[in-house]
């Protein structure tokens, strides 16, 4: 059986992106692999074996176009309200907390935050299928 190990996104500024993911969701650089024309950064935390791979193409000055097909990354947290307040206090681009229902039953409470390159991250209250 296949095991999901990472997802990759392209970022413009290594330091800015590493700082954002460290502050926002506690990821740190597990490994940095430098090549002539690009750098790969694998970010992780002790809570999961899944990693976020940041690809930084050297010499790139223009932001990446995300198009209309990009979805989002998702993380779960113990306390959605306190995380929302923390994200706002850090000055991140944060949406409001919303509730999502299915067949009249609560399914999820979440908000979205946008990273420095325009990628959306869904922050979900931990519980149910969102552990």
55 close to 6: Cβ distance less than 8 angstroms: no
Cα-flanking dihedrals φ and ψ of residue 122, to 5°? -90, 125
32-77: pLDDT as tens digits: 999 999 999 999 999 888 999 999 999 999 999 988 777 799 999 9
**Domain segments of the chain as ranges:** 1-59, 70-131
Give me the helices (H) in the chain, please.
Answer: 14-25, 80-89
What architecture is the 1-59 domain classified under in CATH? Answer: Roll (3.10)
Q: Whole-model pTM above 0.85?
A: yes
- Distance, in Å, from the CA atom of 26 to the CA atom of 41, rounded to the nearest integer, reads 15
Selected residue with higher pLDDT from 68 and 5: 5
CATH of domain 70-131: 3.10.180.10
Does the annotation mark 122 as catalytic?
Answer: yes
18 close to 64: Cβ distance less than 8 angstroms: no
Q: Quick one: DSSP state of residue 62?
A: S
């Amino acid at each position: 059986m296949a095991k999901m190990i990472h997802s990759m996104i392209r970022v413009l500024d290594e330091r800015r992106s590493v700082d954002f993911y460290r502050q926002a969701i506690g990821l740190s650089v597990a490994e940095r692999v430098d090549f002539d024309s690009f750098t790969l950064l694998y970010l992780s935390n002790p809570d999961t074996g899944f990693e976020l791979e940041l690809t930084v193409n050297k010499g790139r000055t223009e932001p990446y176009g995300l198009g209309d097909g990009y979805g989002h990354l998702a993380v779960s947290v113990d306390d959605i309200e306190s995380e929302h307040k923390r994200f706002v206090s850090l000055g991140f681009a944060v949406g409001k907390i919303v509730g999502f229902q299915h067949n009249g039953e609560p399914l999820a409470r979440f908000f979205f935050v946008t990273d420095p390159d325009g990628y959306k991250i869904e922050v979900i209250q931990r519980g149910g299928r969102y552990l």
